[in-house]
Each structure stands twice: as structure tokens, then as C-alpha cells.
Amino acid sequence: MFCQKVHLMLVSMTKIRVITGVACLLFSLSLTSLQSLTTTKNGGQADTLKYPRTFGFGRTATLKEIAILDTDVRPDGKGLPAGSGKATEGKLVYAAKCSACHGATGVEGPNDQLVTIKNPTDPKVKVRNKTIGNYWPYATTIFDYIKRAMPFNQPGSLTDQEVYNLTAFLLHENGLIKAADIINANTLPKVVMPARDFFVPDDRKDGPEIR
Amino acid sequence: MPDQKGDKPLENGKKISRRTLLGGAATAAVVLAQTASGKSFQAALTKSELHLLEDPTKVPGVPPGTLGTRSPFEKPVKAPSDISSRTPLQDLFGTITPSDLHFERNHNGVPAIDPAKYELIIHGMVDKPMVFTLADLKRFPSVSRIAFLECSGNYRGAADGKITPQQLCGLTSQSEWTGVKLSTLFREVGVSPKSTWFLAEGGDAAVMTRSVPVEKGWDDAIICYAQNSEAIRPEQGYPVRLFLPGWEGNINVKWLRRIELSDQPFQTRQETSKYTEAIGGGKIRQFSFTIDARSIITYPSYPQKVEKGWIEIRGIAWSGRGKVVRVEVSTDAGKTWKPAELQGPVMDKSHTAFRYLWNWNGQSTEILSRTVDETGYVQPFLKDLLAARGGNMGYHYNPVTAWYIQNDGQVLFKAT
């Protein structure tokens, strides 16, 4: 806004000051582009306009050190490592490293229920717990999360092979893939998650409406 | 321990000691005392000497120390569970939460991070991926702001009314946060104009991750290294955390170690299977970052018992969308509402203290408070919130909270 005013002022200047005007105009335009890049609704960036182009603090990150930390997996599969897994193999890993917290079949707990109960016989089971099968919108999240944070008592200790196997096992237990299906960087992003279409972005907005 | 010229109580009693001077009777208390020459020591006092303590003008006080302490008569504590710990809202008077009483929510404990080895790496859709040490971060232009931080899963009720403000909504606290604006670092690494989201990752045992819109990073995000003027407490993310004013606690990633710029959200476990809420019609709301306007009366509240006569109703109000412009109080179960007095300065996205002077006639009633923020939002009743969300409870519950006052003065929680 401020820069636009300066701009108009300069344009209206007399020819005598054209050279100065052009120089200022260029300066003004460069400020404008910087501001449009960084100014947002709270106007928080106005005070950074006087900042130098770079402070020169910090150092360039190497590809190697980025690779060590960059284990995240996106819904499109970006970040998934080489390798593959199968439900039958995952069942063994699950029994050894996961069942103590999540139950023998992923239903019993005591911690998060991972598998949807297929045919609840107990009439008291009214609350539909959130599981991978009925709530998780993306299959890639399973791989990402197990790899970074599980098992709870030994986070980050599983091999990519184990994580692929576990991912396949949990998808199969939830009825989302067949027992023989191979889960890898190509197949995992394509697994259709039933809850995917339930998810909507935040529909609340500023103002009096209660949502 | 070397003998300090007879000032120290001695076991053999051969030298003159304070203890022998005082009679050498059974120890009833230990206090810090000071000699005429300025040396301090712990003096054992007998029961008969305790009366001296009743008159602090008759005994030398505690000498200056290296760290301040709470009065031993004051014992505010957080209320911990396995995964979180709640601020004792009912024990606080102002709006800055003492750092050791700030609420906690961890996903696999508090990590021990050596500040000398700490690094923040920023990569992805940037011109120049970079690594910043803690010292690097502190060299950049700094910014401080006072703001609340609230977990979006912060509403509990109790059918019998026996629930304190701490148990009810103690997952909100306020600090002055200091650090470098994320926008400053964004400029340093050259964030691509095509980047729309970034991943924030913690260095804890959960390696916590959340996706954040890049716009918020340019707007008012802070990479914080200080809380209430000192280094951030370990429970709050030492040495560095992300702070996003007005946004749900979970996304303010603690122990921040990595930021990755991207052109789509990462759909992490926290933003899919958690921190999403059913809103009716089979829909699940996602990326609901902003904390809606809210208030809570912290006095009087359960388990207090009040007396007939003048009562200053006190509480806090806040909104993640901006400033609180008005707090209304009802002392007749919601039939009529009167404006409460706001304690200035009222700050953006901050806990704001409110007060309302009331002369209670001793008849049972309900007292309530509701916040109106600068966007015109009025804090809703629980039933209205439930109706708007298809009957679902979940995250982002900010209902008006009522306190029922019985004839005998006993205060109990009541859902609205």
C-alpha cells in the first residue's frame, strides 16, 4: 500500500527529476515485490523490509544430513523407501513388538485400537472406536508413523522391511488388502482408505457463526 | 564441612554453638539463619523456640539466594496424567502462567537435548537448505509476544459437578514467547513461492510431525527459544519450539529439529487420526487450527464454598482469532448478562483477565461467563455447539461453563 503511493507520487513528478524518479521507482518496485512476497493478513512483515537480503547466519545443509532426518512419507508416496512387505510376515512382527500395547488382534488394547471389529457380538460395543480401517484417510500415514514413533518403548528401532510388513498386516486385518498383496512404494499410496472422503477442510470462519 | 568459627551446631557441644545457646533440646524445626558476620547456616530450633518464627521481626530472615522460591505455604501444582499435565487455573491471579505451571502434552515424554548439539534444519522447496545452531537462531532479529497456548482437546465435564477449572480446561496457559520470526528464516533459506505447506518435526521420542500452511509461517510464526524471559522449559520444547499464535497446541511443535517445505500437506498421524473432529453428516473436519473464543470463571469454582455478600467473580477469556472485546457474566443462570471489567492491556490471541463484582443474596443460582471476540463470535453454550456438530463431542470444544452455587455456598460445575 505504502509503496503504491510512493509509486504514484513519483509518476507525477516533473521531467526535470525523471532520472531520480526512475531510480526511486525501481527501488519502489523492488520493495513492492518483496512486500507482496512476505506480507500477510496480520501485516506481520512490514518491519522486515529493512532486513538485509541475507544475514549470513547458519550454514548450508548437506544432502547427507538431510537424508538422515528426512524419513517422512507423503500421501503420493514421496519418501517411501525401497523394499516391500506382506501381511503374513507382518503378523509375526506384530505379535512380537506390537501386541503388548495394541492387543492380540489389534482390537483389545490397552492402547489405541488399530483394527475395526468386523462383527461385534457384544451388544455393549456401541462406541465406534477410531481405527486405521474406519478413520485413517491415507495408507501412507501408517508407514510414516510406525517408522518414526513405534514401538512406543523402542521408537525408531524397526527396519524398513519390518515397517512394510507391519503396514501390510494392519491393512489386511482391516480388510483393505488381500493376504497375498505386496505393499511397496508403488502400491501403498494406491490403497483406498474408506474414510478418505469423510475428511473436509476447516469450515469455521471469523464471525458469529457457530460451527 | 569446616567449622565456621563456632557458628555451626556441633555434635560434641565443646565449642559454643547456636544449638547449645538455644538449649540443645530436641529439634522441632530447621530454619535458615544468619550470623552477625553475615554467614548463613541452618539452625535447628526446638518446639519451644518456634514461637520466635511467629514474629518475623524477631529473627533474621533468609539471606539472598541464587534462585527464588515459592512460599512454603503456597503449593500450586499441575495435575498430571500419563500424557498431559494441567495448569491450576484456579490458583492463578494474573494472565502469565508461571513457567513451571504451564500445561504439558507430550507424545512420548520430555526429551533431554544438549543445546550445544542442537540444530534446526530447513529444507525441501527452498533455494538453499540450511542448518541453524541455537546460537545462530539467537543472532537473528528477535521478537517477543504474549499469547496463550491451548490444547484443542480441552473440555471435560462431570455429571456430579465435582470438577475444578484445572480438570475442566487446564490445558491452556500463557507465556511471553521470544525467538526469531519464521519469516526471517524463510527469507534466509529462500522459500519457493510455490511452496504451500511445511512439515514441522520434533526431536522427541514421538518425532512429532504436523503440516502447517506456509502462509502462517510468513504471518506470525515464531521459532522460540525463550519463555517468560528465560530459556524454554524442557516440558515446553527446550531448546527450541514452534509457536503459532492462536492455533491449537499440538501444531506448536516442541523440540523442533526440522522444517521441510512442500506443496501439499504430509497427512501425518497427528493431523489425520488425531486432532480432527466429526461434525455431523458423516464429515470429519481436518486442519482446524484456530482456537475459538472461550472463557472460564476461575473464582468462585469447585471445590470452593462461598459466603453470602460481595464476591468478585474472576476468570480468563481468550480467542485464537484476535482480541477479546467483551466478556459477559450472568449471575441468574443465563437470564440476563452484564459486561465484566476487562483487565488491560487486552492483547491479541491472549488470555485476558475479567472481573465482575457481585453481591450474592445467598439463594442458589448459576454464574456463567461468555466471551465475544473481535470477529463478533460469541462463545456458545454446549447444547448449541453439539447441535452445530451433529451431536459429536471432540476437539475444539469451547462451551460456556456454568458454576452452580448451592444455598450453602458450595460451588459445583454445571454443563450448559
Task: Give chain A's domains with CATH numbers.
Answer: 2-48 (no CATH), 63-198 (1.10.760.10)
* Residue spans per domain, chain B: 1-64, 83-275, 294-414
Of A38, A55, A75, the CB nearest to B218: A38
pLDDT at position A48: 66
Q: In this structure, what are the phi and psi dihedrals at residue B148, rounded to the nearest 5 degrees?
A: -80, 160
Whether chain B has a CB inside 8 Å of the CB on A45: the answer is yes
Asked if residues B206 and B268 have their Cβ atoms less than 8 Å apart, the reply is no
With an 8 Å Cβ cutoff, are B272 and A210 in contact?
Answer: no
Q: Give the closest of A37, A58, A211 to B188, CB-based.
A: A58
Chain-chain contact of B209 with A135 (C-beta, under 8 angstroms): no
Task: Report CB contact under 8 Å: B187, A38.
Answer: yes
**Looking at the predicted structure, is the pLDDT value of residue A117 above 50?**
yes
Chain A residues whose CB is inside 8 A of the B389 CB are 211
Predicted pLDDT at A118: 77
Q: Among A9-23, A80-94, B58-72, B110-124, which stretch is predicted with the lowest mean pLDDT? A: A9-23
Terminal-residue alpha carbon distance, chain B: 63
Q: Residue B400's closest CA among B391, B408, B390, B377?
A: B377
Secondary element (H or E) of residue B187: helix B182-189
Radius of gyration of chain A, Cα coordinates, nearest whole angstrom: 27
CB contact under 8 A, B187 and A59: no
Cell 460456556, residue? Answer: B400
Q: What is the ipTM of this complex?
A: 0.86
Mean pLDDT of B146-156: 98
> In this model, does residue B127 exceed pLDDT 50?
yes
* Closest Cβ–Cβ partner in A70, A136, A208 for B378: A208
pLDDT for residue B222 is more than 50: yes
Domain covering B83-275, topology = Sulfite Oxidase; Chain A, domain 2 (3.90.420)
Average pLDDT over residues B314-320: 98
- Helix ranges (H only) for chain A are 2-11, 18-38, 63-69, 87-97, 99-102, 140-149, 160-173
For A42, name the nearest residue in chain B, comparing CA atoms only. Answer: B219
B398, B291 contact by CB (below 8 A)? yes
Options 2.10.109.10, 2.60.40.650, 2.60.40.420, 2.170.190.11; CATH for B294-414 is 2.60.40.650
Which residues, other chains included, contact B124 with Cβ-Cβ below 8 Å and sequence gap of 6+? B195, B198, B199, B259, B260, B261, B262
* Contact between chains at A61 and B123 (C-beta distance less than 8 A): yes
Chain A residues whose beta carbon lies within 8 Å of the beta carbon of residue B283: 198-200
- Report the pLDDT value the prediction gives residue B54, as an integer from 0 to 100: 80
A96: its cell numbers: 512380537
Using DSSP, state whether B202 is helix, strand or coil: strand
Place of cell 545443509: A61
Classify the C-alpha dihedral A171-A175-A179-A184 as positive or negative: negative
C-alpha neighbours within 13 Å on the C-beta side of residue B60: 15
Contacts of B205 in chain A (CB under 8 A): 149, 155
Contact assignment for A69 to B380 by CB distance below 8 Å: no
What is the DSSP-derived secondary structure letter of residue A111?
Answer: S
Give A170 to chain B, closest Cα distance, Å: 15
Q: Which residues of A touch B272 (CB under 8 A)?
A: 135-138, 141, 199
Sheet holding B365-373, edge to edge: B338-339, B324-330, B365-373, B402-405, B411-414
The pLDDT score that the predictor gives to residue A47 is 62
Is the CB of A149 less than 8 angstroms away from the CB of B108? yes
Amino acid letter for position B253: V
Cβ distance of B288 and A204 shorter than 8 Å: yes
B342 and B374 Cβ atoms separated by less than 8 Å: no
